[in-house]
Structure 1
C-alpha cells in the first residue's frame, strides 16, 4: 500500500459524487435539490451546507480489525467533541482473541500476552490535520486491559477498551488518539484495533484528511473531520480511505467492487464518572427486514423532505415511510432500488418540533447498527429518549436489541445537531 496522495483524493471525490447520485442523492430525477432563497431558507442552507447537522446518522455494514503486530504500526482515531468536556478515559474498538487470555491461538486478533497497548491522546494541527503535541499517554498490557474491561462489563467479552488519558477537551476542536503496540516482540504479542466499515466511495470526508467543519457527506452523525488513519512508519506518514488499516477491507467481507473504509467508534468517561458516547455503533453482516427506527425527542425543529435507507447486500430497501408520532402526520416515498444510500423525495413534507418524535420504516431490507451487551452497559443513555443518541427500535426485529438501529433516516438536516 502507498500513502494517500492528492491525485487519489481527486479520483475518490469524483467517484463518490458519481455513486451518490446513482444511489439516489438529490431528487428522483437525479438532479440535486436546491434550497429556497427566502431569508428563512437561506439560514437553513447555511446549516445544510454540511457539517454535523447534515451528516446522516447511519452508514456502516460490518467491523474489521487492524492487528498491531509491528513496532512501526500506528492507528489514528481523529475525533471532534461536540462540547467542552473533562475526561479521564477514552474508549475505542479493541480485540485480542487468540492471545493467551482469550481463546489462545484460536484466532488472529491477538497473540501471546496481548502486547503492550500504548494510547496517546494528542492535539491535531488544524492547518495540516496531523498529530501534534501529546496531551496524555497510558501504556498497559493488552490482556490486563481486556480482563479489566470484562470485569467492568459483568464478565461480558468487551468490544471496546480504554486508555486512561485525563484531559479537558474543547468542543468543536480536532483531537486524536494514536494507538500502538510497544511490546519488545510485537509480532508474537499483539492486540487489534477494531473499527466499523463504510463503503469508501460513500464515506465522503471520512476517507480523506478533511479539515473543514462544514464539509458535506459525513456519516454516522460524525463531524466531517473525524476519521481513522493508518501508519507503517511510526506516524511519519498516514494512510486514509481504503488504506487506513493493517489490511484492505471490503463490504460484505469480500465484495472487491466496494472497498471499505474504517470509521471512528469511540466514547469517553467524564471526570464525574459518567460515560459519554462519541460514536458508539458498529455492525455485522446481517440485514434488518421490514424494520422501523424511532428518533425521539428532537433537539431542533426540522422539516423533512426526503427519506433514505442504506443497504449493502443484494436486496432492496422497499418503500420508506415517516410518521410524526406526536402529531400523526406521515408521508411515504419509494427510492430507486439497489445497493447503497437510497433516497427519495417525499410528496408531502413532515415537520417535527422540539421535543417531538418520529419513526422511519421500510418495507424492504436495510443494514443495522449494533449495540452489543457490553456497549449497552458502557453507554446506558444511548438509545433512550434523552440520551446523546436518541434512536431505537420501538419493536425490535428478530435477533436484535431495541437499541440496535436500522439504517433509515429523514433529511436533509438532523434534528439533533445544528453545527
Structure 2
C-alpha cells in the first residue's frame, strides 16, 4: 500500500463502516468516492440509532414519563455535543433543522420578515457567490423576488477561486446579508473567510456561512469564523440523514422572528395572539428529528475521538495524492484548484469529450462510486463552459489504494470509449 505522511490508521477506521465491505457487480468491493454527497455511517452511529428506537423512543419535552425524559435528555444532550464540536458560546445558539438547506432557508425567511435593522427590502442588497450550492442561491433569489432586494455575487477566477477584486462593489453600505460557502462542494475550494467577513462587518452586514463541506472535514470554530450564522448538515459527517444545524448569535436569535409555527416553539397561545419560546426552541416547531439528533451526537463523539485536525491532515494527504495521480491521466482537466493548497477533498474533472455520465457509469461497473452532474452548482459549470463534471470526493476512511483504483478505472473508461 502507498504510504503517505499524515494518514490515519485506515484499516482500523474502515472496520467501523459496514458498508465499505459491500461487494457489487460480480464480486467487486465497493470503492466509495461520493463523500461530498453523503458519508457512510460507522457502527457507533448505527448502534446509537438502534438503541434509541429500541429503548428510549418517545416524544421530547412534553412528557413526564421515563421514556419521554430519557428521549429529551438524549436529544438535548446531542445539542450539547454539537455546541462543543463547533465551539459555540452557548448551547441555546444551536438549532436543529432537517438539513442545511432548511437552515439556509430559515435565515432567509427570518430576514424577510424581520423588523429593522435586519429587514431585507427593496432598498437593500444580498451578496452571495457564483460557486454556491443551489441551497445557498435559490433561497436568496426567492427572497429577492419577494422583497425587491438586489441580489449580487462574486465571480470566479479561471483556477476556481473567488474573485474578490470588486469586493467593495459586491458588498456595499446597502448589503444586509452576505452568504457564502466555506468549502465549495463542486471544486473543493476553501474560501478566504476573513477578508469577506471583515468587509461585511465594515458595512454592517450580517454573515451566513454554509459549512456543509467543512464541518465533516476540518475543525469548525464558529467564534473564530466571526460569522453571525453557520449552517451544516449531519449526513455528510457520519450522521444520519434528516438532521441539520443552524448556529446563530444569541442576540440575533432573540431579535429575529420564527420561521415555522406550531407546537413547542410557543410560550403562550390564545385565539388572538401567541408569544414565543426562547431560542433554540423558538425555531424548532413540532416534533423535531429526535433519533436523527441522537445519531448526530454519536457522529460528533466519533469524529471528536479521532480528532478533526487529524482527519483534516489525512484528507489533505489523500487529496494531494489524488491530484498528482489525476495529472497522469491524458485529456483530464480538473475544474477548480489544481493543488492541495486551500482546498478540500472534493475533486471535479472532465475527461476529454467523454460525457461525465458515461464516465460515472463505466466507473460504477468497476465498483467505483463517484458523483456525476452539476452537483447542485450549475452556475459553476456554466462559468467554465462544461455540461457537467465527474466528482471524486474523499473522507477519513479513504485510502491511497482507492485513489489508485480510480486512476485504473479512468484508464478503463478511456479504453472503452476509444
TM-score, normalized by length of structure 1? 0.28
| Rg (Cα) greater in structure | 2
- Higher normalized strand content (fraction of residues): 1
- Higher normalized helix content (fraction of residues): 2
